[in-house]
A and B are shown apart, each in its own frame.
Chain A
Amino acid sequence: MVPIPRRPAAAARLDAPACRTPESRTPEPRTAEPGTPVEELLRDLGGQLRRGGGVEPEAAARPWPTGLRELDRLLGGGFPRGRLSEITGPVCGGRTSLGHALLARATAAGEVAALVEVADAFDPGSAHAAGTRLERVLWVRAPERRAALRSVEHLLLANGFGLVLLDLAGEAPARTARPRPRDARRGHLERTPAVWPRLRKAARAAGTALVVLGDRRCVGACADLAVETGTLRPRFTGTPPLLEGLEGEVHIVRNRLGPQLSRVPVRWPKPSGLRSPSARCARPAGACMRRCS
């Protein structure tokens, strides 16, 4: 009688889905059989090897650093992927600088990022000076808040963006609809509470870091991480005086993944490529009479 060949164990195959079976509640780690070409390839390439599609569990957990060492240390590496985070603060508080820092890190890592904004306040030259690779940023200028939220949902469903930055700061107050008294107490941004759990779930499914930028907190309990920026102090030095940068602090007000209620001193130097008015000349080096490159 010819024996029926057994299929190899699911855990031993790289393409096997990591599913839980009733027999073993904890899936075995995905390892290749020793001695096979796949195992040799994994050994040679090590951590450089990425999977072609989908979201790698480790990649989903890998946070996006802000570039501020102390803040990244407290956040466990940076803003988490697959989570909903929030950055709030007053004007000139450093919110935009923090958002651009995330964009710069994400695009430098070869990821595709998206920026959805309502106030049409994104300055490409400033972001470029901060190190953002502009060609890897999808810029969505939504006409109003509802379109911005729906755009974010579409982007998360596209399943491949490393970072989605939703900029609600500077949004004009809604004048068409009169807010209900309950909403008026909490601000008009609170009138769409059902959207945040949905976006949070979509961000988790896509493995995308969803960061909301605003004047004040609007995500509420759905935020896995909430950071508030304080009023910063500018530094002018030299004669005639030149703007060197801003100094201040960042307050972690909510963090489900680590310590919270921590204050971190930050310093935002003015980038060398951002001389006033803004030296973002696109001409090649040496071709510009202003010598801005």
Chain B
Amino acid sequence: MAGSRIACLLVPDLPLAAALRAQPELAEQAVAIATGPGPRAEILSVSPEAARRGVRPFTTTVQARAACAELRVRVASPSLERAARAALLDVALSASPRVEAAPPSAGLYAAEAVVFLDATGTGSLFRSEAGLAAALEARATRLGLPPVVAIAGSRPTAHIAARKLARGKPARDSVRARSDGARQAGRRSGVQKGRNPARQATQARKEDKQLRDEDTPPASDPRPNVEIVHQDAAYLAPLPIDLLDPAPPLAEALTRFGIRRIGELARLPRSALLTRLGAGARELLDLARGASRPPLPAAPASTRCEEALDLEHPLEHLEPLAFVLRGLLSRLGERLACRGLGCGDLDLRLALDGGGRDARRVGVAAPTGDVRVLLRLLCLSLEARPPGAAIEGVALATEGRPLRADQLDLFRPAGPAPALLARTVAELEALCGPGRVGAPALADSHRPDAWAVAAFAPASVAPVEPRRPGAGELSLRALRPPVAAEVRVVAGRPVSLRSAVANGRVTAVSGPWRSTGAWWSAEERFALDHFDVWTSDGTLCRLRLDRIGGRWEIDAVYD
């Protein structure tokens, strides 16, 4: 029986990837992510184009601009990174129900976002592990998060393999730069007394070059972002030890011991190592040996998705806000589509200038992923109730709802396609207003003018024979609200009336039919006497006397 298989989905430079996901038009430009808006803010990440032009991480914004005048500096946004992490989790959930997001690292790989998923038994969905990895990579790339994917027998091995791949990616220069910097620092601190420092440095440079050459995949590799590991121990043994992301004191001690590869660490006796390096070395040793951890938890039942954006400048008009909302909706729709879901009701939260908040819920009649329709619903809501101040931040959340599926039937009418129907219903609601589109329903009430609107979800049904072939049936035409009438009454029966609908002498009348109900509620109670009245001007209407209010009204005409 084959053991468990774990896939690791890793985005090496999350701040940059999150910023490019929000603004894909910057993908080919020189972009740097800074810690703040000021000129002395530190550069955290740089795009490949910026790196090619000489911009380096851990410099100030002024220095970076001096190196590249066309540099586009963006401030690192926690909300964007949070949404990007959630999107990566959605990609994993699209392939397996058992997923786990690794907690953010504080060390050398602080910028990476990692998600593990259980790849065991996915053979029925994907032809091979390579197919699974390719699908994960394609889906994450579609969401604007180009990842590296590694599949191995345990989480540590898959994680290390993914880090190795990411190090070889030319687009992740920032991570590599930070890694190299830390390595240099460790090497500087690891120079031992009594030895020739020059020879030691030369030796270290040779080993580093050798390791880097081993790390970098060959140019002929058809899929450089995917790694499938079958023999975990053999794969890990030659890899450099900094892929384990050891704490600085541990890294310094291991360098002092001359341990540079994972295999060398894994071969050390556990008790002796713990005696010398303390309890912190236990986890490092487990990682080096690829020890298995508890199984991945089952997927959370929540299908809630949220996208947020902190604006650099407050927005005061609806039109520029619509551009922002379009981007958020597009990203939300892509995430939900990845999991086969449609967009449900929208929760829009606006951070206003001056510390105010604006929260609103916009109903969506049927789950849909149509950005145009959803944007229209949001704009209608904002036009109807504009926010009180300029907008500094936008957060949009929704509950993913399964799209309606329909099985075509040979013997029944096909009807509209469910996805198209859902989009149409949502468009109609955006056009006509909330609550004005749906299936009419009979209200569970004795009130004569009670009615309801239900969600429109027609199921395929068999045709039935009409009840009365060869004859029509008389129908009513409702007047909402009822039209007030002046009625002259003789012996409790109307003899003439005057209103906007019917006027004149009452030619024929039948009734009254009394209906009462809701006597327990002062607001909803009713007591009505209804008459079918034919007036001399040719109108056949339904006249009613509201016995509580003492009013005569016409609530329908026969037509």
Which A residues fall within an 8 A CB radius of B?
45, 48-54, 66-69, 90-101, 104-105, 108-112, 120-131, 133-143, 147, 150-151, 154-155, 157-162, 169-170, 231-232, 234, 236, 240-243, 245-246, 266-271, 274-278, 280-283, 290
What mask results when residues 107 to 131 of chain B are scored 1 for a CB within 8 Å of chain A, else 0? Answer: 0000000000000000000000000
Q: Which residues of A contact B509 (CB under 8 A)?
A: 241
Residues of B within 8 A of A246 (CB): 474, 540, 558
> Among B199-207, B290-298, B345-353, B406-414, which stretch is in contact with chain A?
B406-414
**Cβ B431 vs Cβ A150 within 8 A:** yes
Task: Tell me the bound Cα distance from A170 to B476 in angstroms.
Answer: 13
Output the nearest chain B residue to A206 by Cβ-Cβ distance: B416
Note all chain A residues with C-beta closer than 8 A to B556.
123, 126
Neighbouring A residues of B443 by C-beta, 8 Å: 282
Q: Mark B424-438, 1 if CB is under 8 A from A, else 0.
A: 110110011100111
Closest 8 CB pairs of A and B: A160-B416, A277-B448, A52-B408, A124-B440, A277-B530, A126-B476, A96-B559, A110-B463
Residues of A within 8 A of B540 (CB): 92, 232, 234, 243, 246
Cα–Cα, bound, A98→B176 (Å) = 76
Stretch from B81-89, B235-243, B453-461 forming part of the interface with A: B453-461
CA distance A104 to B438 in the complex (A): 17
Contacts of B414 in A (CB 8 A): 50-54, 160
Q: Are A112 and B513 in contact (CB under 8 A)?
A: no
In the complex, chain A residues whose CB is within 8 Å of the CB of B473: 67, 97, 100-101, 104, 129-131, 268-271, 274
Instruction: Determine if B432 and A143 form an interchain contact, defined as CB atoms under 8 angstroms apart.
Output: yes
Hey, which chain A residues are within 8 Å of B438, CB to CB?
A: 138-139
Q: Which residues does chain B contribute within 8 Å of A94, judged by CB atoms?
A: 472, 559
Chain A residues near B410 (CB-CB < 8 A): 45, 48-50, 52
Which residues in A have their C-beta under 8 angstroms from that of B466? Answer: 67, 104-105, 108, 131
Instruction: Tell me whether B323 is interfacial, beta carbon within 8 Å.
Output: no
B437 near A138 with CB under 8 A, answer yes
- Please state if B508 and A122 are interface contacts (CB–CB under 8 Å): no
Query: Does B386 sit at the interface, judged by CB under 8 A?
Result: no
Once the chains are docked, how many angstroms separate the CA of A231 from the CA of B425? 37
Knowing A109-B463, A112-B416, the reply to whether A143 touches B433 (Cβ < 8 A) is yes
Least CB distance from B144 to A in Å reads 31
User: Taking the complex as formed, is B515 at the interface, i.e. its CB lies under 8 A from any CB of chain A?
Assistant: yes
Using a CB-CB cutoff of 8 Å, which residues 84-109 of chain B contact chain A? Answer: none
CB distance from B489 to the nearest CB of A (A): 16
Q: B301 within 8 Å of A by Cβ?
A: no
**B193 interface contact, C-beta 8 A:** no
Chain B positions 512 through 552: 1 when the CB is less than 8 Å from some CB of chain A, otherwise 0: 01010000000000001011101000111110100000000
Mark contacts of B461-480 with chain A using CB atoms, 8 A cut-off: 1 yes-contact digit, 0 otherwise: 11111111111111111111
Given contacts A134-B440, A139-B439, A140-B428, A121 and B415 within 8 Å (CB-CB): no
A101 to B408, CA, bound (A): 27
A238 vs chain B, min Cβ distance (A): 9
Interface presence of B510 (CB below 8 A): yes
B433, B467, B510: which contacts A276 (Cβ < 8 A)?
A: B510
Q: Tell me if B322 counts as interface (CB < 8 A to partner A).
A: no
> Is B444 on the interface with A (CB-CB < 8 A)?
yes
Which residue on B lies nearest to A236, using beta carbons?
B508
Instruction: Judge whether A139 and B440 touch: CB under 8 Å.
Output: yes
Contact B538 A92 (CB under 8 A): yes
Residue of A nearest to B422 (CB): A158
Q: Which residues of B contact A127 (CB under 8 A)?
A: 440, 475
Q: Is B477 in contact with A170, judged by CB distance below 8 angstroms?
A: yes
Knowing A53-B414, A143-B436, A147-B431, the reply to whether A274 touches B451 (Cβ < 8 A) is no
28 contacts between A and B (CB under 8 A): A49-B410, A53-B414, A68-B470, A91-B501, A92-B538, A93-B559, A95-B559, A108-B465, A109-B463, A112-B415, A126-B476, A131-B467, A134-B439, A138-B438, A139-B438, A139-B439, A143-B432, A158-B416, A158-B424, A234-B508, A268-B474, A269-B472, A269-B474, A276-B511, A277-B448, A277-B544, A278-B448, A282-B445
Compute how far the CA of A241 lies from the CA of B510 in the bound complex, rounded to whole angstroms: 5
Shortest distance in angstroms between A149's beta carbon and chain B's nearest beta carbon?
A: 10
